[in-house]
Amino acid sequence: MVSILLFPGQGAQKVGMGKDLAETFPAARETFEAIDAALGESLTRLMWEGPEERLQLTEHAQPAMLAHSAAVLAVAGDRLEPVAAAGHSLGEYTAYVAAGALSVLEAAKLVRMRGELMRDAGERRPGAMAAVLGLASSAVEEACQAASDASEVAVAANLNAPDQTVISGDPAAVRRAGEACKAVGAKRVLPLKVSGAFHSPLMAPAASGLRAALAEAHFRDPRFPVVANASATAVRTAAEARRLLAEQLTSPVRWVECLQQLAALAPEARFVELGPGTVLGGLLKRSLPGAQYTSLGTAAELEGFLA
């Protein structure tokens, strides 16, 4: 089955994630054990036993999501016949693992550092995020511009679907932008529980630290194109991967454009989401109606796929 691989980002983590994979598939169990060893702690114990509030912390949620997706990837292997990939925010790191551009252990260390840097940036300058539903992204961007001034900023951070955009920035500016969105027809504006203003200019300190870590990481040219969040273009070199992963922290996740680019690269391929939940499948349905889609996140789903 020729596939386009999709890897979810932070938000779908929950206690118990991946335990059925480790109990069913040796390759998944070995992946989890290797990531635990690389991080120097039992991430899997936190994933499987909690506590929930600790798992939800950015510095734990990000490597947990990568570990789950990487375990699925280790089991499904070449049966997927991937021709392109993308990941939402931190999921982009797993996409590079799938494309052979980055080892899973180095990716786990990078996303742990990324989560810590994002947490620290959020502590230095507290931010907020909110999901705007039922309004075109262009109208959301206009609302953000109107809500921003010299001291406070709001931006469209995640362009997730034609009618779903996440805004990010200083809390007061995000509130003003949300109110402006409701005034011009947004169905709902939902505040998100996050530790900072991700994918906004407030993440500049985190991007600086991450850029230095990416420069030291061992990247290779990907075996197949990975479509980057920050540019919505196909990345084919290690240098591009490094640059765009650093830019990603302060740039919007251009997910609708990413999906369109993936579909253009491989029109006949099936989209396959690897990881917990089906969030990206829902966004795919709203962005590219009729696209072929499969979810691989549980042991049962993988057993059905491999049968």
Q: What is the pLDDT of residue 1?
A: 79
Task: Return the CATH number of the domain spanning residue range 3-123+201-306.
Answer: 3.40.366.10
Q: What is the mean pLDDT of residues 167-175?
A: 98
**Start-end of H helices in the chain:** 19-24, 26-39, 43-49, 52-55, 58-76, 91-98, 104-124, 137-147, 171-183, 204-216, 238-248, 255-265, 279-287, 299-306
- Please identify every residue annotated as catalytic: 89, 199
Tokens 């947004």 sit on residue? 186
pLDDT for residue 195: 87
- Answer for the pair 235, 225: CB distance below 8 angstroms, yes or no: yes
pLDDT band of residue 114 (cuts 50, 70, 90) is very high
Average pLDDT, the chain: 97
**Rg over CA atoms, the chain:** 18
Domain(s) of CATH 3.40.366.10: residues in the chain? 3-123+201-306
H helices present in 136-193, as ranges: 137-147, 171-183
- pLDDT at 30 > cutoff 90: yes
Specify the pLDDT at position 204. 97
Sequence-distant (≥ 6) Cβ neighbours of residue 47 within 8 angstroms: 13, 15, 16, 17, 18, 19, 55, 64, 67, 68
**What residue spans in the chain does CATH classification 3.30.70.250 cover?**
127-191
Q: In terms of DSSP bridges, do strands 293-296 and 270-274 run parallel, antiparallel, or are they unpaired?
A: parallel
Q: Helices 204-216 and 238-248: crossing angle, nearest 10°?
A: 160
Peptide bond into 82 cis (omega under 30): no
Q: Provide CATH code, domain 127-191.
A: 3.30.70.250
